[in-house]
Amino acid sequence: MSVPLRSCRDHDAEAWVLTAEQGQRLLAEVTGVPEPRPADIFRWRKLAPANAVAAAVRLATCRARAKAKFSRGDRMWLDPVGLEQATGEAVARHKAGRFACPLVVGRTGMSVPGRLSGALSSRSRPSSTIPPRPCSAPACSIPSPPPTV
């Protein structure tokens, strides 16, 4: 299933809501209403054009949903599809922690420039450039390449 791309007009309306004083007032008013009703939309349409009201409602809805995923979700510029696809902060921190170990250059079979080749052995890290850190991530357990004959 393909998702239709949003038009430039949508982005322009969201930018106006986020940057213009009148747009920020509209967004603050929309944010104060958890479930907008037709009467609310009609009232906001008197303050701004339809695309700006739609942008404010979209931003307010996304920001309310983003609070569950992000510590600063109430201040982010989001779209519904991006928010749905985004990895939450807690999961992202966990994943980033798994890959926090330094890359083992000497054991990956990569070409090493002449200056660094003396600092590396087949099973060591360059102590001057990457400080050794404890790492239990499977990504750090790169097996040695097979010997070439």
Q: Mean pLDDT across the chain, nearest whole number?
A: 75
Residue range 3-9: mean pLDDT, rounded = 58
Q: Residue 145: its pLDDT value, please?
A: 60
pLDDT reading at 65 higher than 50: yes
Q: What share of the chain has pLDDT > 90, as a percent?
A: 36
Q: At what angle do helices 50-66 and 8-19 cross, to 10 degrees?
A: 70
Tell me the per-residue pLDDT of 36-56, one tens digit each, with 9 for 90 and over. Answer: 999 999 999 999 999 999 999
Query: Would you kindly state where each structural domain of the chain is located, as residue ranges?
Result: 8-93, 99-143
Tell me the per-residue pLDDT of 81-140, one tens digit each, with 9 for 90 and over. Answer: 888 888 888 888 888 887 766 555 444 444 444 444 444 444 444 444 455 555 554 544
* CA dist., res. 136 & res. 101, Å (int): 8
pLDDT reading at 72 higher than 50: yes
pLDDT reading at 34 higher than 80: yes
Q: Residue 100: its pLDDT value, please?
A: 64
pTM of the predicted structure, to 2 decimals: 0.59
Please say whether the beta carbons of 66 and 95 come within 8 A: no
Q: Residue 114: its pLDDT value, please?
A: 47
Tell me the per-residue pLDDT of 117-126, one tens digit each, with 9 for 90 and over. Answer: 444 444 444 4
Residue range 16-20: mean pLDDT, rounded = 93
